[in-house]
Amino acid sequence: MDCMLKDNTRALNVASNLTAPQQRTIFTKERISIPGYYEIIQFLGKGAYGTVCSVKFKGQNPPAKIAVKKISNIFSKEILLKRAIRELKFMDFFKGHKNIVNLIDLEIVTSSPYDGLYCYQELIDYDLAKVIHSSVQLSEFHIKYFLYQILCGLKYIHSADVIHRDLKPGNILCTLNGCLKICDFGLARGIHAGFFQCQTNSSAVQPHITNYVATRWYRAPELLLSNQPYDKSVDIWAVGCILAEFYARKPVFMGRDSMHQVFEIIKMLGTPDKDLLVRFGTIKAWNLGKHSNNPVYKKIPWSSIFPFASPEAINLVESLLHWDSTHRLSVEQAISHPFLNEVRKPDDEPVCLQGPFDFTYESELNSMSKLRDYLVEEVNGFKAELSSPPL
Amino acid sequence: MNVDEKLQQDENQIHALFHKKTSGFLTKENAATKLKDPDNIRLRNLNFNHRKYFKGEKKAKPIPVQENLEKLFDRKVDSGLESDGLTDINLDYIPDSPLIEKISEPGHSTLITPKNIIHLQSDSDLIIEECDRNYDCGPFYHLYNYENRIESDDYEAIIEAIIKDEISGTYPVFERELEYQELKGLVRKRDYILYYLFSKDHMGFFQLKEERLLFYAYPSIAYTSPLRYLDNGSEDELFTQEDDELLQTLDFENMSSMRTLDSNIWH
């Protein structure tokens, strides 16, 4: 244990030396210590992960509210460390895009009992789930505007060869002025084939990404019925589900388990083709076919489900929610769809100029001390960049 | 005032009234048309430096989304960046968060004085009672258990995964393997004695060891276990007395070394 603590202390001292401000504001009851130029406004929540509070800059008028999340015990928990590193790497990589959430500051506090990783982020009160499932009236123009922002963010993410893997309304934050920001990169994965080659040192590259794909309601059919590798089209399916949810005002495929989820999709999209079921390559997929005893469902036209939606909207839903992932639109095609013409700004749809996301660092982090050191390096790098003068 | 004058006056009043109503109606119509205009929903400039230039100018009309949201949540809501009314809509959105710029400001602030190192904020300043225990925000948004693509009752997928891994010589890695390896190097004889005699598990090593044994003992768990970001104790439910008895007879301590582990330990 001494060894681990020593490791921790060494790593954390590096961080604290670099980042320690001269004055601290301390709130003893909730064990929060933040730089003196912040003033705590209110505690927003507390859970197993740590504590969240809202703060503002002292003397600032009008006050800019910031959410501070303190994550305790992060340095002894492998899963939290991995998630923190992954999420910070992605947020750092995608920073600056208006539809992807931005981190304001990071800090590692070492002095007990206030120790932990402190993350500072602009305070966004709502997520899209709260907006969709409320009584707020959404015109088709709002839907277009929201969807366009989601696709702009996703275009940026996909251009770096990254799959989000957990797109859903709950993971899209919504500011009061209607600006959407994609968040939660805890399950995101880089998929650039070149980096798989680097990781495996093998010429025969078979991108292998593991099975963790969250939130069943937004899960693509190939993830439910096949065990084969998947690609960016799983995010496109999720976007299709979100678009349909805008009109339905509730999730469109609400399965209780994976097979019920499949039947929910079949009820709307109809029984899939035999060829596709064969390509899925599983018995459960084969058993769904017309040859089995299962009833054969016909596709229900989206126009009869959403009679109030425009033909362009219906066409886009159909193009996104397709059984066959190869028939789904890419994010670039979706963004160019006539449905979004009214809100589109083609000059403001950037791609990630840094190229594909390099995830080879993951294979180097094969011990807890390396994970800790890496997190500290990430935080220090973030602070250093923050203090450097703008270009 | 004669009759003619009176009639003229009445006519003027009616005309004025009618004209007023007409212009009001037109105004509403214009406003309605304007709302449909895509340019009406724009991101506002979030940079506070621009506010002073807009001061004194007529404030922009709130967009319907905002009106609705405010109405919906029926409370004073801060957007996180603005606290007073709306400012003019700036058509040129500035992508960088203004707060990133602002964070560097306090470094030069005169508020920081070396004499006063720690400022203890009064507990009474904060409203703890109103704290929402379910509130969450990014980063690490919604830290809950992520589901596995393979569900526990999907025997076909489990068997297929086992066969594939056997062929390729890989095996799922316990999600807290590194944590386990570190604790294994730190645990001393004293800890074993304390655990077996008094059930004291200070470092959590023995609980982790049991979880790891179970993970490697049952392929169904290895291939279907959800990714838990929280140590909320729910894993305890996995253990039964029967499992414990079975585990006593098995030695999976070095199972990982018996196989070539999947090099990708990041799920």
- pLDDT for A257 equals 83
Partner-chain contact A101 B119, CB within 8 Å: no
Q: Which helix (H) or strand (E) holds A173?
A: strand A172-174
What ipTM was predicted for this assembly?
Answer: 0.72
Please report, for chain B, the start and end positions of each structural domain, with discontinuous segments joined by +: 175-226
Nearest to A258 among B36, B97, B154 (CB): B154
What domains are there in chain A, each with its CATH number? 6-123+363-387 (3.30.200.20), 126-348 (1.10.510.10)
Q: pLDDT tens across B96-108, in order?
A: 433 333 333 333 3
Is residue B170 exposed (0-12), middle (13-18) or buried (19+ Cβ within 10 Å)? middle
Mean pLDDT, residues B210-235 taken together? 73
Partner-chain contact A59 B147, CB within 8 Å: no
Q: Which helix (H) or strand (E) holds A377?
A: helix A368-387
At B240, list the tokens: 């039964």
Q: Tell me which amino acid residue B256 is.
A: S
A70 is in an annotated binding site: yes
Mean pLDDT, residues A31-60 taken together? 81
Helix H segments across A271-367?
274-280, 283-286, 302-305, 311-320, 331-335, 361-364
Strand partners, A107: A118
**Which one has a higher pLDDT value, B3 or B116?**
B3
Question: Does residue A123 register a pLDDT over 90?
Answer: no
Helix H segments across A174-257?
193-200, 221-225, 233-248
Contacts of B43 (CB under 8 A, 6+ apart): A98, A177, A178, A179, B90, B93
Residue A296 to chain B, least CA–CA distance (Å): 23
> Which residue from B minimizes the CA distance to A64?
B81
Inform me whether the C-beta atom of residue B143 falls under 8 Å from chain A C-beta atoms: yes
* CA dihedral (A125, A130, A132, A137) positive or negative: negative
Q: Answer for the pair B93, B45: CB distance below 8 angstroms, yes or no.
A: yes
Confidence (pTM): 0.70
What count of CB pairs under 8 Å joins A to B?
A: 304
Partner-chain contact B72 A134, CB within 8 Å: yes
Q: How confident is the model at residue B174 (pLDDT cuts 50, 70, 90)?
A: confident
Q: Answer for the pair B257, A111: CB distance below 8 angstroms, yes or no.
A: no
Q: pLDDT tens across A255-301, in order?
A: 888 888 999 999 999 999 888 988 888 888 888 876 667 788 899 99
At A375, list the tokens: 């997190």
Q: pLDDT tens across A321-344, in order?
A: 999 999 999 999 999 999 999 999
Residue A25 to chain B, least CA–CA distance (Å): 5
Residue B77 to chain A, least CA–CA distance (Å): 8
- pLDDT for A18 equals 44
The B residues from 160 to 189 touching A (CB cutoff 8 Å) are 160-161, 175-179, 181-182, 185-186
Question: Does residue B257 register a pLDDT over 80?
Answer: no
Q: How confident is the model at residue B149 (pLDDT cuts 50, 70, 90)?
A: confident
- pLDDT for A274 equals 86
- Residues of A in Cβ contact (< 8 Å) with B100: 102, 104, 386
Nearest to B132 among A44, A60, A141 (CB): A44
> Which residue from B minimizes the CA distance to A144?
B38
- pLDDT for A198 equals 61
Inform me whether the C-beta atom of residue A133 falls under 8 Å from chain B C-beta atoms: no
Q: In terms of Cα–Cα distance, which of B135, B113, B96 is closest to A42?
A: B135
Q: pLDDT tens across A183-212, in order?
A: 888 888 888 877 766 655 544 334 455 666
Mean pLDDT, residues B187-205 taken together? 91
